[in-house]
Amino acid sequence: MKHYEVLISDKANEDMEAIFRYISETLHAPASAAKQYNRIADAILSMEEMPERIKIIDSEPERSKGLRPLIVDN
């Protein structure tokens, strides 16, 4: 099976860290924060195989960059 390179943007990393901090510090649930962070990271890395299963965003400039929306939980 072919593997693709998955790049996580600086903005995505910042968003993941902000989510982690919010759950951990604001909601006082560090264990839940770590689990959510890992679910997001695992979902992103799962795109190494079969990224085509998620449709490319249909608007510009996202379409020309080949960006695919990945929703994890809510």
61 in any annotated domain: no
Joined tokens for residue 72: 């994890």
Place of tokens 């979902």: 43
pLDDT of residue 15: 95
Query: What range does the domain containing 2 cover?
Result: 1-49
Read off the pLDDT band of 7 (50, 70, 90): confident
Count structural domains, the chain: 1
Whether 74 shows a pLDDT value over 80: the answer reads no
| Inside any domain, residue 71 | no
| pLDDT tens, residue by residue, 43-73 | 999 999 998 999 999 999 999 998 889 899 8
Q: Is residue 64 part of a domain?
A: no
Is residue 6 a part of any domain in this protein?
yes
Flag whether 68 is in a domain: no
62, part of any domain: no
**Sign of CA pseudo-dihedral 26, 27, 32, 37:** negative
Q: Is residue 35 part of a domain?
A: yes
Q: What contacts 28, CB < 8 A, 6 or more positions away? A: none
Can you read off the two tokens belonging to residue 68? Answer: 């695919």
In the chain, where does DSSP find H-type helix? 10-21, 30-45, 62-65
